[in-house]
Amino acid sequence: MKILGIETSCDDTGIAVYDNKFGLIINKLHSQSSFHDKYGGVVPEIAARNHLDQIFLFLQKFKNKQNFFNSIDSIAYTAGPGLAGSLLVGATVACSLAFSLDVPVIPVNHIEGHLLSPMLDNKNLNFPFLGLLISGGNTQLIYAKKIGVYELLGKTLDIAVGNLFDKIAKALGLKYPGGPNISKLAKFGRNGIFKFPRPMLTNSNLNFSFSGLRTFIEKLIKCSDKSFQIKSDIALELEETIIEIFIFKVYRALKLLNLKNLVIVGGVSANSRLRNCFFDFSKKNNFNLFLASKKYCTDNAAMISYVGCLKFRSGIYSTNTDVFVDPKWCINNLNR
Ligand code: KG4
């Protein structure tokens, strides 16, 4: 059984094929970051147009492979959350292709894709688990009960943590996407030079807020001498602050729900300092930590084709090929 997966939720065009027997057999990704970096963030109109160009280049190549399309059993695509224009490109291509091949189409929630991405190369991950999704567009704590059944426990009340990294990187004169560049700079930072506020730790919920922190750091950068050393100190303290906030909230959620399995996914989970701190944290507190391998942290179609395969196998699909997208599709509500 082969499932073609299409991912176009933001600025990465992904196409993958997951085979029930052999695992991931195709995984192509085209990053648009060079088109967006001069703007310091993703421009939705540019992203949608770029997906349209790129997706046909990928499909054109597959067309030349013998019997490629006839061997596909179903097509899974990211239906949300994401940028409306970008989602519509992937959805329209997926539904048209499914209609012409006469195979079912499976709309996949992008957050569910991320949450299950560690399963691509670690079959020991089982439900239930606590998921921390940290990406450019989302910051969420999720109680994953079973495939397709999730409860949103907390989320950012303003900007996502990846967006915070991108905005601070821009203020420091670094390129988009900012996370990896902040991480490189932080290696030269000195401990304890700055102390940033840790928002939302004194209340009792599981939400996050990063826009006040963003203003605090941007003001600090403006008043600083912008030397390489000071920029590195700021980058290090930004990482330390974020990690402390996440460890605090994750610990609270794990205790509250009495869960033993912790999953951390999304682009920001590629951060090496964060990965190391969570390894130490899980060892010390006896939790099982599951991280997606770095190649699956940022947006990709591998996770979409994988979720598509799980749903197809469980009979969770319909033969309806109507285009469906929901830019705000919440993980709580997967049964549309
Ligand atoms: O999952 P993803 O592709 O999500 C969205 O596009 O929404 O994640 C992209 C985000 C960007 O904000 C990027 O700055 C951040 O992940 N990121 C990182 C690192 N690598 C990527 N943030 C911190 N440290 C990293 N090493």
Tens of pLDDT, residue by residue over 221-261, are: 999 999 999 999 999 999 999 999 999 999 999 999 999 99
The owner of tokens 């830019």 is: 327
Query: Does the pLDDT at position 39 exceed 90?
Result: no
Protein residues whose CB sits closer than 6 Å to any atom of ligand 1: 10, 135-137, 162, 165-166, 177-180, 183, 266-268, 270-271, 298-299
Query: Does the pLDDT at position 308 exceed 90?
Result: yes
Distance 189 CA to ligand 1 centre (A): 20
Distance 121 CA to ligand 1 centre (A): 20
Protein residue closest via CA to atom 10 of ligand 1:
136
Please state, rounded to an integer, the average pLDDT across all residues of the chain: 96
Which pairs count as long-range contacts for 171-176, CB under 8 Å and 24+ apart, including other chains? 171/217, 171/218, 171/221, 171/222, 172/221, 172/231, 172/234, 172/235, 173/226, 173/231, 175/37, 176/33, 176/36, 176/37, 176/39, 176/40, 176/41
Query: Does the pLDDT at position 63 exceed 90?
Result: no
Protein residue closest via CA to atom 26 of ligand 1:
271
Closest ligand 1 atom, residue 163 Cα:
12
Low-confidence winner among 62-71, 163-172, 282-291 (lowest mean pLDDT): 62-71
Report the pLDDT value the prediction gives residue 336, as an integer from 0 to 100: 67
Residue 238 CB contacts under 8 Å (≥ 6 apart), including other chains:
164, 165, 168, 182, 186, 196, 217
Protein residue closest via CA to atom 22 of ligand 1:
179
Distance 298 CA to ligand 1 centre (A): 6
Low-confidence winner among 32-36, 48-52, 277-281 (lowest mean pLDDT): 32-36
